[in-house]
Amino acid sequence: MNRAMAAALAPSVAAARAETTRCLTLTGVRVLLALVAMLAVTPAALATARVSSDGREPGTLPDTLAFSVCLLVFAAIASVCAGADHRSGELVVGLTAVPSRTRLALARLLALSLVNGSCALLVFGIDRGIRLQTDPGAGRGGLPEHRVALGFLCATITVTVLAAALTTLLRHAMLSMAVVLLAPILVVPFLDRVLPSVAAALPFNASSVAVTGSGSTPMPWLVGVALLAGWGVAAVVTSVLHLRRRDL
């Protein structure tokens, strides 16, 4: 039974391994991973710095700043990887090696999730480790640390598959990144005023709740995580169906 299961999973494992290698060899991904490494260190190293804006009393930076910014970088990594299909025709090569479109789509999403998820856990560990050295007496506001870590991981995976699905649908990595980066600035504030219930269900608010414990629309932490899971599943289904039906 175990051998039969291993034999059945072997093609999927091989495809996921190949897609992980492909992702890590892209120049754009390497540059973005270097940015993630910088974000893992810099905000934590400046934990005791006090900044002021608009004449207000100086205060410290949020202790989840690195996580919030990294989510945008993870979305960019997913867009770059998914967009490689359209820039260099890698989809044809992928389908030659993995004829099953469903298996290929799932392998690519799994590879992206593994790369970004691993980086997210490293960022969390480095950030919290540095903060213990630079500001050991500081209290951590908001959520317990295990919930911050789990929420950050869930948000990372969801943002990753959403960005990949959006890039696949739009067939343009830069356009996908523009949507992900500008929507929280231009679209979400408008929806907060016009349709607050819709804005509350968007992944932007859910990821904020999952990582920081608060969002533009307050909700329980578990509800935020559940919303992220729902968006993630929807993105995976969309990616698989689109790849199964699209032309080359």
What's the longest Cα–Cα distance across the chain?
A: 68
Alpha carbon distance 31, 33 (integer Å):
5
Q: Read off the pTM.
A: 0.88
In the predicted structure, residue 146 carries a pLDDT above the cut 70: yes
Give 201-239 as a DSSP string. HSHHHHHHHHHHS--SS---HHHHHHHHHHHHHHHHHHH
In which domain, by residue range, is 75 found? 11-50+57-245
Query: In which residue are the tokens 């919303």 written?
Result: 227
Task: State percent of the chain over pLDDT 70.
Answer: 85
pLDDT band at 26 (very low <50, low <70, confident <90, very high): confident
Asked if residue 232 is part of any domain, the answer here is yes
Asked if residue 2 is part of any domain, the answer here is no
Q: Give pLDDT tens digits for 102-128.
A: 888 888 899 999 999 999 999 999 998
Task: Give the number of domains in the chain.
Answer: 1
In the predicted structure, residue 161 carries a pLDDT above the cut 70: yes
Asked if residue 126 is part of any domain, the answer here is yes
What are the Cα distances from residue 158, in Å, to 50, 106, 240?
Answer: 32, 14, 15
* Residues near 129 by beta carbon (within 8 Å), at least 6 away in sequence: 44
Asked if residue 188 is part of any domain, the answer here is yes
Partners of 60 in beta bridges? 50
* Residues near 33 by beta carbon (within 8 Å), at least 6 away in sequence: 77, 119
Asked if residue 33 is part of any domain, the answer here is yes
Q: Give pLDDT tens digits for 191-204.
A: 888 888 888 888 98
**Which runs of consecutive H residues, i.e. helices, occur in 26-64?**
27-45
In the predicted structure, residue 129 carries a pLDDT above the cut 60: yes
In the predicted structure, residue 57 carries a pLDDT above the cut 70: no
Asked if residue 115 is part of any domain, the answer here is yes
pLDDT band at 31 (very low <50, low <70, confident <90, very high): very high
